[in-house]
Structure formats: structure tokens, C-alpha cells
């Protein structure tokens, strides 16, 4: 964005005209709708240059009409009249999700392969068995029993492990390596599959771990959509940082970090879903 977004500067993405009547701002504020308004305006400004083909627009409108049960021309006209929408505004409304997806693809689609390769290890998954206990002596004894074949890993995990893994016979995963603390992720990555590792102190617990399998991440369609969304979310938060101080207060981004995520979830989620 090239300018600081103000409440009075909510634009029609195509014409560039301010479309928010000043008298409606108190109404929106009283219902705490300002965050959604600002979020949608950010996205609408960004997607304004994005166009849809005639076929895409027609299909989007058909889906929109079906969703709202607008099965006649009169119902469509009445609906537009009720909400004060022109045909152009209706088309923008119906194609909003598609234009957002196109914006993501145009902006970051060409970077996905390099982005994926850079962070691939974070996306790789692992399944592992875990036993944790606060007593070092117990950990050593359990390790001895497993390696000597006296009892199985799953049996001892179920009986002795002091975490939720006790309910799954010690099995955890598949989990992405990027969601695991770096030191523990490093331990897993340097462990040979199927080999029980000697007890290691992590925090207040002694742990015994055995990697069951590694699952290599693939740049498939699902991963591409995920990476596009992650880039989009990063971009959106950057746009929030450019808001005026007053608008930042509305979005909750100049108080507590947790409120940033709350504002983001509220803003982007509802803006895209609209």
C-alpha cells in the first residue's frame, strides 16, 4: 500500500472512489465492525487490478445465485436493490474469493519452489516413540529393558511415560519438524530410524526416543496452496503495520502480541470468507 489507510478512505477497488459515507462509521464502530472493514479494504485495494474472464465471472455469479437461492431475474434485482449493489459491485462481490486466489498466485506463485526448498526441513514430518520421566534412574532402567528385549517400547511407554503419549503407546506423529523445538528436532533428525536413543535430559524430564519413520514433504497442490496462504498472511500483517495509529488500535496491534493474531484471524478470515 502506498498510503496510510484511514477510515474515511475505504475504496471501491475498481473506480478508486471513496464509498464509505461518514455517517456510517459510528454505526460500524458501535458493532465493532471496524476491523473487518479495514481488513477487507486492504484486500480489496490489493486485488483491484486483478480481473476475471467472462467465463469466470459467469460461473462465480451462478454459484452466488445458487447460494442465495436467486433463481429468477426478479429475485436477483430485488436482492441488489435491497443491499444497494450495482451489477458491477455484485460481480466484484461474487468474484472476491477468486480474485484473492489470483492475487496470491500472481504475487508469490513464481517463488513457491525456492521458498519450499528453503524451508523444506520444516515441512518434513516424523513419527517417533517417546518415553519421558523425571527420574534419571528410571529412564536408564527403561532404556536397558528395551535394548535387552525384556519389554517393548510401547508397553513401557504406556506404563511409565509421564505425558499424553502414554495413551498412544508412546507413539507421536506424524508431526512437522518445524513445529518441534529446534534441539529436539535436531535429535530426531540425527537419529537412525528404529534405533532407541539413550536417555537425554530435556527440560525437567529424561526422555527416551525412537524414530519410527520420516515422511518427506512434497511440493504438491496442497503444499502449494498452503505456501501461498502463508505468504499471503505474512503480507497482510505487513499491511497492518502501515495503518495509522488509530486504525492499529482498532486492529489491536499496538497493545499485546496475542491481539495481533486475534485481529488477523478476525480480519482476514472474515474478509476472505465474505
One-character DSSP codes across 57-113: HHHHHHHHHHHTT--SHHHHHHHHHHHT--HHHHHHHHTHHHHHHHHHHHHHGGGHH
Read off the pTM.
0.77
Using the predicted structure, report yes or no on whether residue 11 has a pLDDT greater than 50.
Answer: no
User: Closest Cα partner for 185 from 90, 121, 94, 98?
Assistant: 121
What's the grid cell of residue 28?
A: 460500524
Q: What is the tens place of the pLDDT at every residue in 92-117? A: 999 999 999 999 999 999 999 999 99
* Average predicted confidence (pLDDT) for the chain: 87
In the predicted model, is pLDDT for residue 8 greater than 80? no
Helices (H), the chain: 25-30, 34-47, 54-67, 73-83, 87-94, 96-108, 112-123, 136-147, 153-160, 182-189, 221-240, 245-251, 257-273
pLDDT of residue 12: 47
Percent of the chain topping pLDDT 90: 71
Summarised one tens digit per residue, pLDDT across range 155-202 is 999 999 999 999 999 999 999 999 999 999 999 999 999 999 999 999
Instruction: Give, in order, the Cα–Cα distances in Å from 18 to each of 13, 103, 134, 148.
Output: 9, 22, 63, 76
Put residue 203 in one of left, alpha, beta given phi > 0 → left and psi -120 to 50 → alpha: left
Is it the case that residue 2 has pLDDT exceeding 60? no
In this predicted structure, the answer to whether residue 3 has a pLDDT above a threshold of 90 is no
Q: Give the tens place of pLDDT for each residue, 176-189.
A: 999 999 999 999 99
User: Pairing mode, if any, of strands 200-202 and 171-176?
Assistant: unpaired
Using 50, 70 and 90 to split pLDDT, how confident is the model at 26?
confident
| Residue tagged 511440493 (cell numbers) | 219
Reduce the DSSP state of residue 259 to 3 states and report it.
helix
**pLDDT for 29:** 85
194-226 pLDDT tens trace: 999 999 999 999 999 999 999 999 999 999 999
What's the confidence (pLDDT) of residue 115?
93
Amino acid at each position: 500500500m502506498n498510503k496510510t489507510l484511514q477510515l474515511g478512505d475505504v475504496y471501491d477497488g475498481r473506480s478508486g472512489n471513496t464509498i464509505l459515507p461518514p455517517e456510517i462509521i459510528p454505526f460500524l464502530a458501535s458493532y465493532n465492525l471496524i476491523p473487518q472493514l479495514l481488513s477487507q479494504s486492504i484486500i480489496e485495494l490489493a486485488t483491484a487490478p486483478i480481473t476475471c474472464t467472462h467465463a469466470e465471472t459467469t460461473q462465480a455469479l451462478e454459484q452466488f445465485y445458487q447460494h442465495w437461492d436467486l433463481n429468477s431475474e426478479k429475485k436477483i434485482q430485488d436482492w441488489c436493490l435491497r443491499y444497494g449493489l450495482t451489477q458491477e459491485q455484485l460481480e466484484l462481490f461474487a468474484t472476491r474469493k477468486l480474485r484473492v486466489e489470483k492475487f496470491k498466485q500472481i504475487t508469490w506463485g513464481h517463488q513457491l519452489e525456492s521458498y519450499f526448498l528453503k524451508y523444506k526441513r520444516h515441512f518434513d514430518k516424523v513419527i517417533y516413540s517417546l518415553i519421558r520421566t523425571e527420574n534419571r534412574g528410571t529412564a536408564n532402567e527403561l532404556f536397558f529393558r528395551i535394548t535387552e528385549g525384556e519389554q517393548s517400547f510401547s508397553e513401557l511407554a504406556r506404563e511409565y511415560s509421564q505425558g499424553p503419549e502414554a495413551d498412544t503407546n508412546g507413539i507421536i506423529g506424524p508431526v512437522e519438524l518445524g513445529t518441534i523445538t529446534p534441539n529436539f528436532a535436531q535429535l530426531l533428525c540425527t537419529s537412525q530410524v528404529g534405533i532407541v536413543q539413550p536417555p537425554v535430559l530435556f527440560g525437567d524430564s529424561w526422555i527416551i526416543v525412537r524414530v519410527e519413520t520420516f515422511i518427506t514433504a512434497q511440493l504438491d497442490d496442497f503444499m502449494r496452496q498452503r505456501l501461498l496462504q502463508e505468504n499471503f498472511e505474512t503480507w497482510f500483517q505487513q499491511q497492518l503495520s502501515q495503518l495509522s495509529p488509530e486504525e492499529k488500535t482498532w486492529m489491536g496491534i499496538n497493545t499485546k502480541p496475542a491481539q495481533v493474531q486475534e485481529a488477523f484471524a478476525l480480519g482476514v478470515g472474515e474478509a476472505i470468507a465474505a
